[in-house]
């Protein structure tokens, strides 16, 4: 398995690289088909956030499956251990799910398909066209690539990433959301062909947003 360690706003020490190399056997023991593991260590410079100053993000690619976990702590080694604990738990779920599918068993996942009224959003005043750096780099991204761009002189940083994925069902999208540890997941619905988002609500309750244009909706009536 290829292991790539990078730093964001921090230098990667050799000791940390060595510890990562030694501990990633936990991943290969559960997912022997894992092809690549990317570990990103970032540093928060705000002294008020010293307890979570170090954040470790781990992304593992095994075939078509992408599993992700992240954690923060006062030092990089504790953050690594916490992130690995989350990652190995998700990898075990992936392995168990594959076994269940071989037996012909599918774990039903409750999905809330009820209507959700979007919150009212005030229309912003028209602004003059502004070719920001974020707009300039977005078209140059390749599949899987990401870029971070600071907005003007503000502390706001926008991270953009291009992700290529096959259309999937709502159940598959919920499963992918659990693997990457997010509260939402963007996908193309295999049944409708619409860009959609599944998101976590409360407990085992989930919601689904689907997006379409008025023209397409009119054609389907």
> Residue 78: pLDDT above 90?
yes
Structure tokens at 80: 């690594």
Structure tokens at 6: 């990078």
Provide the 10 A C-beta neighbour count for residue 123.
Answer: 5
Higher pLDDT, 144 or 88: 88
Q: Kindly report the CATH number that applies to the domain delimited by 2-102.
A: 3.30.160.100
> Alpha-carbon distance 195 to 186, whole Å?
7
> Alpha-carbon distance 170 to 208, whole Å?
8
> Residue 85: pLDDT above 50?
yes
Phi/psi at 161 (5° precision): -145, 140
Tens-place pLDDT, residues 155-199:
888 877 777 778 989 888 888 887 777 788 899 999 888 899 988
Enclosing H/E stretch for 207: strand 206-210
The class level of CATH for 143-221 reads alpha beta
Structure tokens at 101: 């599918």
pTM above 0.75, yes or no: no
> Alpha-carbon distance 168 to 220, whole Å?
21
Instruction: List Cα–Cα distances, 106 to 66, 81, 191, in angstroms.
Output: 20, 32, 18
pLDDT of residue 181: 76
Instruction: List Cα–Cα distances, 84 to 68, 95, 107, 171, 201, in angstroms.
Output: 10, 16, 25, 26, 26
Enclosing H/E stretch for 73: strand 65-73
Whether 15 contacts 39, CB under 8 Å: no
**CATH 3.30.505.50-classified regions of the chain:** 143-221
Q: Which segment of 25-34, 50-59, 89-98, 114-123 scores lowest on mean pLDDT?
A: 114-123
Whether 21 contacts 54, CB under 8 Å: no
> Alpha-carbon distance 109 to 90, whole Å?
16
Percentage of the chain modeled with pLDDT above 70: 76
Higher pLDDT, 40 or 219: 40
Tokens 């409750």 sit on residue: 110
**CATH 3.30.160.100-classified regions of the chain:** 2-102
Please tell me whether residue 193 adopts helix, strand or coil conformation.
coil
């Amino acid at each position: 398995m290829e292991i790539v360690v990078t730093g964001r706003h921090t230098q990667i020490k050799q000791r940390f690289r060595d510890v990562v190399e030694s501990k990633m056997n936990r991943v290969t023991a559960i997912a022997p088909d894992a092809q690549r593991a990317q570990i990103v260590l970032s540093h928060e410079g705000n002294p008020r956030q010293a307890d979570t100053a170090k954040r470790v993000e781990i992304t593992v690619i095994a075939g078509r499956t992408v599993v992700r976990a992240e954690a923060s702590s006062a030092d990089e080694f504790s953050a690594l251990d916490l992130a690995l604990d989350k990652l190995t738990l998700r990898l075990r779920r992936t392995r168990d799910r594959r076994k269940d599918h071989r037996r012909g068993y599918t774990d039903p996942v409750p999905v809330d398909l009820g209507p959700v009224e979007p919150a009212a959003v005030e229309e912003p005043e028209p602004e003059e066209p502004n070719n920001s750096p974020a707009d300039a780099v977005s078209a140059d991204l390749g599949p899987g690539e990401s870029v971070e761009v600071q907005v003007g002189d503000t502390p706001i940083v926008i991270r953009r990433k291009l992700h290529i994925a096959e259309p999937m069902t709502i159940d598959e999208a919920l499963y992918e959301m659990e693997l990457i540890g997010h509260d939402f997941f963007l996908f193309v619905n295999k049944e409708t062909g619409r860009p959609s988002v599944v998101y976590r609500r409360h407990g085992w309750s989930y919601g689904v947003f689907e997006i379409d244009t008025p023209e397409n909706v009119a054609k389907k009536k």
